[in-house]
C-alpha cells in the first residue's frame, strides 16, 4: 500500500507534500547562497519630492576587493526642483567607520552646490573605494531636500571578514 501525502488547498486541489518540501528546501538554499555570495545592499528613502536610493555591491567583502557604491536622487514630484546650498553639498556620499570618514566630494574634488531636476530626472554619484582596512563600515547618502532640510539614507557592510 502506498501513502500519498497531500495538502489540500481548495476543493479538488492537492499538492504532493514531499515535492513541496523539496522545492521549498531548494528555494531556501538558493536564498542562503545569495547571502553567501554577497548580493547588493540597497536602502531607499523619500522626503515626498525626492526618492533617494543608496546601493552598495555587497554586504561583505574580502580584503583587497574594491567597494562600489551608487547614490541616486530622483525627482518624484510633478514639479521641477532646484536644490541649492552654499554652505554644503546638495548631494554627497560619506564613508563612515570608527576610524575612517571620507566623503565622495573630498575624494573626487567635486561637489554639488546646485542641482536642477525636472520631474522624473535623477542625479547619480558613483564611487569606487579601494584602500580599506578590515572592519565594519557604512555609507551614508546625504541630500538637501526641496523642503530645505538635510536627509540621509545608510547601508552597512563588512570588509575583510574571515567568514566570507
The total number of structural domains in the chain stands at 2
- Asked if the structure places residue 12 within a domain, the reply is yes
Residue 97 CA to residue 95 CA, distance in Å, equals 7
- Mean pLDDT over each residue of the chain, to the nearest integer: 79
Query: Domain check: are 99 and 122 in the same one?
Result: yes
Are 21 and 73 within one domain? no
pTM listed for this prediction? 0.73
Same domain, 16 and 93: no
- How high is the pLDDT of residue 7? 33
List the domain range (segments joined by +) for residue 59. 41-159
Alpha-carbon span 133 to 131, nearest angstrom = 7
Scanning the structure block, which residue is given the C-alpha cell 579601494?
Answer: 130
- Contact between 102 and 95 under an 8 Å Cβ cutoff? The reply is yes
- Residue 69 sits in a domain of what CATH number? 2.60.40.10
| Element containing residue 41 per DSSP (H, E) | strand 41-46
pLDDT in tens, 118-150: 999 999 999 999 888 888 999 999 999 877 789
109 plus 90 within the same structural domain: yes
Task: Classify each residue of 66-85 as buried b or exposed e, where b means 16 or more C-beta atoms within 10 Å of its C-beta.
Answer: ebebbbbbbbbbeeebebeb
Q: Is 118 found in the same domain as 87?
A: yes
Amino acid at each position: 500500500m502506498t501513502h500519498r501525502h497531500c495538502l489540500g488547498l481548495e476543493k479538488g486541489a492537492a499538492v504532493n507534500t514531499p515535492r513541496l518540501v523539496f522545492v521549498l528546501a531548494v528555494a531556501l538554499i538558493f536564498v542562503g547562497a545569495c547571502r553567501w555570495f554577497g548580493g547588493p545592499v540597497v536602502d531607499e528613502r523619500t522626503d515626498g519630492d525626492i526618492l533617494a536610493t543608496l546601493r552598495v555591491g555587497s554586504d561583505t567583502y574580502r580584503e583587497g576587493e574594491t567597494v562600489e557604491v551608487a547614490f541616486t536622487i530622483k525627482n518624484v514630484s510633478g514639479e521641477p526642483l532646484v536644490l541649492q546650498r552654499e554652505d554644503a553639498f546638495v548631494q554627497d556620499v560619506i564613508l563612515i567607520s570608527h576610524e575612517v570618514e571620507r566623503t565622495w566630494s573630498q575624494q573626487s574634488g567635486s561637489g554639488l552646490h546646485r542641482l536642477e531636476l525636472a520631474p522624473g530626472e535623477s542625479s547619480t554619484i558613483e564611487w569606487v573605494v579601494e584602500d580599506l582596512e578590515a572592519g565594519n563600515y557604512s555609507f551614508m547618502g546625504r541630500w538637501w531636500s526641496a523642503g530645505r532640510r538635510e536627509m540621509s539614507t545608510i547601508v552597512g557592510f563588512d570588509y575583510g571578514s574571515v567568514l566570507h
